[in-house]
Every structure is written in structure tokens, then in C-alpha cells.
Amino acid sequence: MVDCSDLKRTGGVLQDKPVGIVIDHHITNEQFAELNLIEPSSVATCAILAQKLPAWGYPITPDVARALMTGILSDSIGFRTSNTTSTSLRIAADLMDLGANISDLYNKALINRSFAATNYWGYALTRLQHEDNLVWTSLTLQDRANSGYTGNDDADLTNIISSIDPLDIAVLFVEQKANLTKVSWRARYGLDISGLATSFGGGGHPAAAGAEIAGSLDVVQKLVLEATRNYLDTTKVIDNNEGNS
Amino acid sequence: MVDCSDLKRTGGVLQDKPVGIVIDHHITNEQFAELNLIEPSSVATCAILAQKLPAWGYPITPDVARALMTGILSDSIGFRTSNTTSTSLRIAADLMDLGANISDLYNKALINRSFAATNYWGYALTRLQHEDNLVWTSLTLQDRANSGYTGNDDADLTNIISSIDPLDIAVLFVEQKANLTKVSWRARYGLDISGLATSFGGGGHPAAAGAEIAGSLDVVQKLVLEATRNYLDTTKVIDNNEGNS
């Protein structure tokens, strides 16, 4: 099994069965197999595989090189994440030499999107708001209808609003149905919004977390923005105290 | 002089003076110096410099490494352009080892943008239109006022609309003043829209060209879309003929 930190992620399929080998780069991996190869310093499980497969007697064909490159590009968002190392780049260079066209795979994995998805963004971006470095916007069911976007997600809009600079926290509200709203938080380095998400029944990482909250878009937006402002105010106080101590 | 393909680009400053050394990766470089180091296969002039500087006795300090990495990331749009090679990636890996933080530089050079710029996009994206694989939209002076965007350009919106898939041609119309409209074309690989831009007094490359056209946004949009449709229709006919010959 690859890139899977715990058995729950298999959806129960392997719950009662022994697992022979797990290869993963998540530091939270529960090491539930007989043989566990966990390399948390690696940018992607595909980077571990690219390094090990030849030694294990599995040649990297052009098809395999393309698959591994796609995994590296996706996990590192195109070598942009802070865990990208010079080794990550050299592994990618080797995969290019083995037949992976980086430009082609990059565009397919990370850049290209549909007309409807791009149009869908527009409705949220015209509605973009901010108070100091707290930025937020929403996607409504009406936006989805207007744009013809049929996906069930935010079409990657979170990445756009979390790239605004300067930024402390970005919040995206996505109306799911009349009484259910999906909330995504993104925070700058140094903040931890996972507790905020947990307090609304969700979860996640310090810099990226989310929750599905019962309530209309308006009501949830009001509640979540209040809680997020409170978090930022409290955090600022702590920062100041630390500065004075 | 670096990354400069002809003397006109210096704005006349060096017009009457001899130039000692030119280092460039543009295939169109006019080789106007006494010594010309032109490597068109290199992804960026900064990649040439990263390879040559140590041999010339100039050590690559962390500051130099950061500057060179920024040039490589900008020119390759983060290793996404089709001229990115495995050598480009290995040079970038070496620059990381010499002190360039790729994640930090990537975000600064290519990802971060202002609240106003992001909001400005929204107005154009809600207005996005298409006919088959021809996509277009516009940015008005009113959009600029609404968003508070103070830049004089399109805030990189062209990159967003040219990432729509499937796409033949994307056209962005930017209202400059009452009687002047800036037009940017982007085309998929295999098309050449530079002639279209030239026919409107502009210029550029096969896949990316532009023109500043006298006329209101509405009038210019109508004219340019007609010409662009004609180009696509003609190109399709030529394609068919070639297929039959």
C-alpha cells in the first residue's frame, strides 16, 4: 500500500486483513504493515518509489516515469511546497530523462481547468471581502447554476484566495444545500487554524483545515467569521505577550 | 548585457556605444556585442549564468543563487514551459543547495497577488464567454475602479483564461481609456495568432500576441472577435485540405 497513513483511509476494505508493505511519506503514518518504509522527508511517496524501484528490480518505463512525475508534481504543487528539496528536483530531472514530459504533465495535473470552473470562480471573486489580513468569499448554489459547474467542490478556488498577499487567514464558504455549508480555512505560516475547524466538527492541518457545518450560508458565514476574528485577536495578544516576556 | 535580444530593448541608452558581452537564451538574439554567448536551448539566461559563473571565477553566493533561481522560475513559469529540460531542474537543484529557498521564491515570483488584483479578476470571469473553443472576456475601467486595482495591466488574468481546457484561442480585452483597447491573444500549440495581432498593428509570438487598438471596448471586441473567428475558420479549412492531400 502506498501513500496511506492509516487503515481507515482504505474505507474498511483492508480492515481485517494483514498488510504486507506500506510505503509512505506522511509523518503521521501508523506503521500498520509488516514492512513499513516511511520517509517523511520525501516530498511525495512517488519520489520514494522513483528512488527505490530500480534497486528492487522494477525498471522505470516511460509510463511509470510519467505516473511518478505526476505524483511528485501534485504533492508538491509543482515544486512549490516548503518540503521541496534539491533531491526532489533531481529525482524529477531523472524522471524527465526516463520519458516524463514535465510541461505536459504539469499542465494536465495542475493548470488546466474547464470553462465552467473558471467562470464559477468569477462569482466568488467579485464577492471577495477582507478586514485587514482576513479574507473571505463564498460560492453559492446559484453560482454553480450560473456557471454550469457540475463538480461538487470549490474548483480549486481556495488556492487562489489563499495566494492573496498579505494574508493571515482566508476562508471560503461553499453552499452545499439549503442547510449545509462547507468551510475551508487557509492560514499563513505560523498560525494554526486546525483548532477552529475542530470546534466546528471538522479537522485538518495547521495551515489548511475545513468543516461541513449545518446551517444556511449566511448564518454559518456570520458564526465562522466571528470565531475566526476571535482566534486572530487572541493570537495577536499571545504574540504581544511573547514579545514582552 | 544579459537576456536582451536587440539594442532597441535598451531604450536607446546603448544605441551608439559598443557592447562588450551579451549573454542570452533568445533564439532571435542579433549578436550585437563583441562576445556573444547565446544558448537558445537554455530555459533562462539565469540558467546559463548559473552554469558559467563559477568557471569564470564568480562564486554563487546565497544572494546570487536566489536571484538566479528567481530568473529561472519566472522564465519557465515554475518549470511549466515546454523548454524546461532535466538540465534546468538540475541547475535549480544546485541553486537550492547554494541557498535559494525554492518555495519562498516561487510564491513571491509567481503566486502571491494583491486582494485588489484577485477581486479585479472576478469581474472579468463572471463575464467570460465562449463559442466552441474560442474563449474571451474583458476588463473595464469600471472593474478597475470597483476592485481598487491600480496596476496598468491585466493582473495576469491572461494566464487564467488561457489555462481553460479545451481551448483554441483565448482573447482578453482591456479597456485603457474611452477610445483605446488593449487586446491579448493566447493560442494552443499548433496555431499562430501573431499575424492576427500584426493585422491590428500589434505583434508577438505564435502562441501569445497582442495589440493596442484605437476604439471603444465594444467596437474593438466586435472587430477582433470577427477576425479571430475568420482565422479559426480558415485554419480549419487548411487543416482539412491538408488532411485530404
B79, B194: one domain: no
A119, A237: one domain: yes
Residue B2 domain flag: no
Residue A124 domain flag: yes
At A10 the pLDDT is 83
Beta-carbon neighbour count of residue A108 at 10 Å? 14
Q: Which of A72, A82, A115 to mutate to test the interface with B (most CBs of B within 10 A)?
A: A115
Cα distance from N-terminal residue to C-terminal residue, chain A: 48
Report the gap between the CA of A122 and the closest CA in chain B (Å): 4
Beta-carbon contacts below 8 Å between A and B: 130
A102–B84 C-beta distance less than 8 A: yes
Q: Who has greater pLDDT, A244 or B63? A: B63
At B242 the pLDDT is 42
B24, B136: one domain: no
Torsion of CA B217, B77, A77, B130, to 10 degrees: 30
- Within 8 A of A128 by CB-CB distance, chain B residues are 115, 118-119, 122
At A238 the pLDDT is 59
Q: Who has greater pLDDT, B48 or A15? A: B48
Residues facing B136 on adjacent strands: B129, B171
Phi and psi at residue B169, in whole multiples of 5°? -140, 140
Q: In this complex, which of A84, A111, A113 lies closest to B80 when CB atoms are compared?
A: A111
- Within 8 A of B132 by CB-CB distance, chain A residues are none
Report the gap between the CA of A173 and the closest CA in chain B (Å): 16
CB of A165 within 8 Å of any CB in chain B?
A: yes
Per-residue pLDDT, averaged over A64-72, amounts to: 98
Q: Which of B95, B111, B160 to mutate to test the interface with A (most CBs of A within 10 A)?
A: B111
**Residue that is last in its domain, among A49, A75, A110:** A110
CB of B127 within 8 Å of any CB in chain A?
A: yes
CB of A62 within 8 Å of any CB in chain B?
A: no
CB of A189 within 8 Å of any CB in chain B?
A: no
- Within 8 A of B121 by CB-CB distance, chain A residues are 121-122, 125
CATH assignment of the domain containing A19: 3.90.1640.10
Low-confidence ranges of chain B (pLDDT < 50): 240-245
Q: What ipTM did this prediction achieve?
A: 0.86
CB of B32 within 8 Å of any CB in chain A?
A: no
Closest to B81 in 3D by CA, of B40, B43, B42: B43
Residue A2 domain flag: no
B66, B167: one domain: no
Residue A26 pLDDT exceeds 70: yes
Residue B19: all three cell numbers together: 557592447
Report the gap between the CA of A66 and the closest CA in chain B (Å): 14
Cβ A152 vs Cβ A161: under 8 Å = no
Those residues with Cβ within 8 angstroms of residue A201's Cβ, 6 or more apart along the chain or in another chain: A211, A212, A213
Residue of A nearest to B157 (CA): A118
Those residues with Cβ within 8 angstroms of residue B65's Cβ, 6 or more apart along the chain or in another chain: B50, B95, B96, B98, B99, B100
A102, A128: one domain: no
Residue with cell 499562430: B192
CB of A92 within 8 Å of any CB in chain B?
A: yes
Residue A242 pLDDT grade (very low, low, confident, very high; cuts 50, 70, 90): very low
Residue of B nearest to A82 (CA): B103
B192, B232: one domain: yes
Q: What is the pLDDT of residues B44-70, one digit of tens each?
A: 999 999 999 999 999 999 999 999 999
Q: Who has greater pLDDT, A230 or A16? A: A230
**Residue that is last in its domain, among A55, A84, A110:** A110
**Residue that is last in its domain, among B110, B129, B153:** B110
Residue of B nearest to A137 (CA): B119
Residue A1 domain flag: no
Residue A13 pLDDT exceeds 90: no
Find the range with the poorest average confidence among A17-21, A195-199, B131-135: A17-21
d(Cα B26, Cα B40) in Å, to the nearest integer? 6
Q: In this complex, which of A87, A94, A165 lies closest to B114 when CB atoms are compared?
A: A165
Amino acid at B198: T
d(Cα B46, Cα B43) in Å, to the nearest integer? 8
B164–A113 C-beta distance less than 8 A: yes
A187, A105: one domain: no
Residue A54 domain flag: yes
**Using the 8-state DSSP alphabet, how is residue A81 labeled?**
S
Q: How many domains does chain B have?
A: 2
Cβ B92 vs Cβ B130: under 8 Å = no
Q: In this complex, which of A107, A121, A165 lies closest to B112 when CB atoms are compared?
A: A165
B85–A90 C-beta distance less than 8 A: no
B185, B86: one domain: no
B105, B170: one domain: no
Domain containing A100 equals 7-110
Residue A160: all three cell numbers together: 487562489
Q: What is the pLDDT of residues A95-138, one digit of tens each?
A: 999 999 999 999 999 999 999 999 999 999 999 999 999 999 99
- Within 8 A of A97 by CB-CB distance, chain B residues are 86
β-strand pairing of A180-187 with A203-204: unpaired
Residue A138 domain flag: yes
Q: In this complex, which of A114, A118, A165 lies closest to B161 when CB atoms are compared?
A: A118
Residue A12 domain flag: yes
B103–A86 C-beta distance less than 8 A: no
Sheet holding B203-204: strands in order across?
A: B129-131, B134-139, B169-177, B180-187, B208-214, B203-204
Q: Which of A70, A79, A85 to mutate to test the interface with B (most CBs of B within 10 A)?
A: A79
At B241 the pLDDT is 43
CB of B122 within 8 Å of any CB in chain A?
A: yes
B62, B172: one domain: no
B166, B105: one domain: no
Q: Any idea what the Cα angle at residue B143 is, between residues B196 and B207, rounded to 5°? A: 25
Amino acid at A17: K
Q: Which of A103, A143, A156 to mutate to test the interface with B (most CBs of B within 10 A)?
A: A103
CATH assignment of the domain containing A171: 3.10.310.30
Residue A240 pLDDT exceeds 60: no
A34, A52: one domain: yes
CB-side exposure of A187: number of CA atoms within 13 Å?
Answer: 21
